[in-house]
């Protein structure tokens, strides 16, 4: 990728500070989640996750709070269908456009303890509860139990709010994996983002797993 490590660190800092970020086991009050959001806008909230099938790194869930009357950023769709450089550019544009973005990191050891589905369900319920009084909440994928929200399979292709969350979550997580690739260079995370490529498995065969590997996935 053409972006320098400095640029990636700056992007991660920008995403974290312009929105809000926490680990899913932190106790965050509903008041804190809604801080800075005025009641004079018509809002929708899109939620999406990235990193579900990776061998290493966190699962990241983003909630993008959107003013439906504000101008939309052109080109927002499923993050996997956007070239890497363009995703980076769109994330910067979106952070200047969304009312707020919230990122929840579920680290590898918590994925091992609770499983992907249980961890996702816990976060989805918390976000739906936190934002449900502000506007419609839309989550990408199939419904999860006891979550009061709207669900849409391939929602990132069809809804702007979910597409925005998809891009922001992807860039947030990718920036983290690029930085971690400098700490542990053997697994080629700068290209595979922690997913199970031949280069990643080759690194695992030659070196021990890291603290950010998911033990149950290996």
Distance CA 143, CA 14 (A): 31
Dihedral sign (CA 2, 76, 93, 31): negative
What is the reported pLDDT for 81?
Answer: 94
CA angle 172, 158, 170 (to 5 degrees): 10
What is the reported pLDDT for 19?
Answer: 56
DSSP track, the chain: --S-HHHHHHHHHHHHHHSEEEETTS---HHHHHTT--SSS-EEEEEEEE-TT-SBS-EEEEEEEEETTSPPPTT-S-GGGS-HHHHHHHHHHHHTTSSEEEEEEE-HHHHHHH-HHHHHHHHHHHHHHHHTTTEEEEEESS--TT--SEEETTHHHH-HHHHHHHHHHHHHHHHHHHHHHHHSGGG-HHHHTTS--HHHHHHHHHSPPPTTB-GGG-
List Cβ neighbours of 157 (8 Å cut-off, separation of 6 or more): 77, 78, 81, 163
What is the reported pLDDT for 115?
Answer: 86
Q: Where are the domains of the chain?
A: 5-217
Domain 5-217 in this protein, CATH class? alpha beta
Residues of the chain with pLDDT under 50: 1-2
């Amino acid at each position: 990728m053409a972006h320098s490590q400095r640029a990636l660190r700056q992007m991660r800092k920008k995403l974290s500070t312009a929105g809000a970020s926490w680990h899913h086991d932190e106790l965050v009050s509903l008041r804190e989640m809604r801080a800075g959001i005025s009641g004079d806008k018509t809002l929708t909230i899109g939620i999406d996750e990235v990193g579900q099938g990776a061998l290493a790194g966190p699962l990241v869930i983003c909630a993008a709070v959107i003013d439906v009357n504000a101008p939309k950023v052109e080109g927002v769709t499923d993050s996997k269908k956007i070239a890497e450089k363009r995703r980076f550019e769109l994330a910067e544009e979106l952070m200047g456009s969304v009312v707020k973005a919230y990122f929840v990191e579920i680290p590898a050891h918590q994925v091992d303890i609770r499983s992907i589905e249980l961890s996702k369900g816990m976060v989805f319920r918390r976000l739906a509860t936190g934002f449900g009084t502000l506007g419609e909440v839309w989550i990408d994928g199939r419904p999860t139990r006891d979550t009061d929200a709207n669900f849409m399979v391939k929602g990132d292709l069809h809804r702007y709010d979910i597409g925005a969350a998809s891009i922001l979550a992807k860039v947030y997580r990718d920036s983290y994996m690029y930085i971690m690739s400098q700490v542990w260079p053997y697994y080629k995370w700068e290209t595979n983002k922690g997913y199970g490529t031949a280069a990643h498995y080759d690194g695992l065969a030659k070196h021990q797993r890291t603290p950010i590997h998911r033990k149950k996935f290996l």
